[in-house]
Structure 1
């Protein structure tokens, strides 16, 4: 619908993906991306960026599969294109290991990643404290490159960018037909979501160019993810912890755990450390709000937040979902419009 005005609040990987998807899918709309922080200052910038996801309890499994599959296929196309180096998107092979076999040895995404198989007994000898493992090829999306690349793609599609702290969605209601809330942990105050909690994550950037394959321990507490310029080594999952300062005790524990998994890591040089707060929720919130802002003719609101540690893994899929919700809002406002 020409003349429709859409605002996307939040410029992390979910917000930028949503803004790009709307601008490219609904080219007649005017799309504005609003945020107080852009790359390199977002939580997404420090994410390890490996495509992997756990199952959420209350969302239909097929919807979760669509989110992950759409994201994987979108990033796979980039990884296999000439844009891969600029976008920071690359294929990454490795293993996930378990002390005891999980109840479900094949996660719901096993046929979406590439080359999924179980580790052999010979391969498991490398990890003597573990009895089961999975090998597969997934994608690593390095957001310090990907977010600026996405933002350029957004402006190329006609999108507008405005650095602004949004204190309430109501303040945008008179200027936009639809507001898409991708504010992550900010939604705790922005829309009063008491179900959102921070999950503190601390990682190290290590110079260890001889490491080429990832290792992830069950639960994601310990992981080693090689990238294009350094190896991301982590991590922590400290629920309800708002600390943003690096904790030396966590650094020591991370290095100790990960060096047990990969002894050669002790020869690596720590290049830097980073702390971020994952916007965790029992389930991601990808839905239309029940009411328009200010009643009858106010702006529609679509929510897309609460991905926890899986924002990179689900960003494009939930962006596609949110774009469909934006389309339905606009069609309700103008039933004859072709979108």
Structure 2
């Protein structure tokens, strides 16, 4: 059998990571990433890139923990290497605060992040409106550099990058042995998935280099996530909204909420507003499917629906998707050898 040709549809963090896992685990494959938008124009470019998981009600907790742990371990390795700066990955410490203690004082990911503990009374004095908090160290991805770093790794491994709008997955059946659907919100149309819906997120990127710690309001939408060059202030969660235009009233509300938690942000400069549509569903869709027409078959692996948790889970789900592609290729090779007998 000639080298299997695999198309990965989508060039956000999930698509690029899945393609990278494929070239690492299946060196005999020819991998092509197809997308109508590459960085800096993907939804992933807008993301804050903080490794703090969001729970998927339809996915078992032990599976979510595995995905998060694999992602954390992978990024921790990069943060501990000479490539950390180029990849835009660094460790960051801070606080998640609550007006009242949450039902679950120990989230499932508490032993994956570093140094997780309850905040002291002295620390809580910084947040007079809040009565309970958790302190820990996690990882932060500066998204555009990380996406470019992934692209560079892919190109070095011989993968192709192709700007192309895919209208239907079946359109790829004559060119590729297996297709991987990492199209994010685009999968709603590509896979006909009505359970996938947009959650609009508006964030501000500001220059405030004195802010060194992350702050996340565990009760609401407010967060302050310092990156290497900019601090991301958030945010919104507007289910079902497809509107990509920034809303000035929302910008002011986000800024005011963040200044309540960190008053020094009043001095922030150079405010940039970004909007992205998180591809949300009750659980990440990570499964094989076979499309067929007229006796011709096209194996497809779906890996989409990460919602707010794309960065927290991307490497774990990419590894699983690559494993499923391996199963598809083994099945194709098996049927070819049977046909020769």
Q: TM-score range by the shorter chain?
A: over 0.9
Tell whether 2:325 aligns with 1:322: no
Runs of 4+ aligned structure 1 residues displaced above 4 Å come to none
Superposed CA RMSD in Å reads 1.4
Describe the SS at the equivalent of 2:318.
helix
Distance in 2, matches of 1:2 and 1:316, equals 28
Distance in 1, matches of 2:162 and 2:292, equals 22
Contact 1:292 1:300 in 2 (8 A): yes
Q: What are the superposed Cα offsets for residues 307-329 of structure 1, whole Å, 9 maximum, x if unpaired?
A: 00111111111000000100111
Distance in 2, matches of 1:237 and 1:271, equals 20
User: Which residue matches 1:190?
Assistant: 190
Tell whether 2:146 aligns with 1:146: yes
Q: What are the superposed Cα offsets for residues 151-175 of structure 1, whole Å, 9 maximum, x if unpaired?
A: 0101111111111000000100121
Paired residues for 1:267-306 under 5 Å? 267-289=267-289, 291-294=290-293, 296-306=295-305
Distance in 1, matches of 2:293 and 2:147, equals 33
Paired residues for 1:92-131 under 5 Å? 92-131=92-131
User: Which residue matches 2:331?
Assistant: 332
Count the aligned residue pairs.
Answer: 336
Describe the SS at the equivalent of 2:129.
coil
Paired residues for 1:1-339 under 5 Å? 3-219=3-219, 221-289=221-289, 291-294=290-293, 296-335=295-334
Describe the SS at the equivalent of 1:298.
strand
Distance in 1, matches of 2:292 and 2:300, equals 7
Describe the SS at the equivalent of 2:59.
coil
CA offset at residue 335 of structure 1?
3.5
Distance in 2, matches of 1:140 and 1:273, equals 20
CA offset at residue 220 of structure 1?
5.3
Residue range with higher mean Cα deviation, 124-133 or 162-171:
124-133
Distance in 1, matches of 2:16 and 2:72, equals 16
CA offset at residue 297 of structure 1?
4.3
Describe the SS at the equivalent of 1:303.
strand
Q: What are the superposed Cα offsets for residues 2-23 of structure 1, whole Å, 9 maximum, x if unpaired?
A: 6111110000000000011101
Q: TM-score, normalised by structure 1?
A: 0.96
Contact 1:174 1:298 in 2 (8 A): no
Contact 2:170 2:291 in 1 (8 A): no
Describe the SS at the equivalent of 2:316.
helix
Contact 2:96 2:216 in 1 (8 A): yes
Distance in 2, matches of 1:2 and 1:75, equals 34
CA offset at residue 292 of structure 1?
3.3
Distance in 2, matches of 1:271 and 1:110, equals 33
Contact 2:9 2:35 in 1 (8 A): yes
Distance in 1, matches of 2:287 and 2:295, equals 19
Q: What are the superposed Cα offsets for residues 264-319 of structure 1, whole Å, 9 maximum, x if unpaired?
A: 11111133111111111111111112x33336541200000000011111111100
Describe the SS at the equivalent of 1:282.
strand
In structure 2, relative to structure 1, the CA distance for the partners of 1:134 and 1:2 (3 Å cut) is: farther
Distance in 2, matches of 1:324 and 1:294, equals 25
Distance in 2, matches of 1:186 and 1:299, equals 19
CA offset at residue 72 of structure 1?
0.6
In structure 2, relative to structure 1, the CA distance for the partners of 1:137 and 1:295 (3 Å cut) is: farther
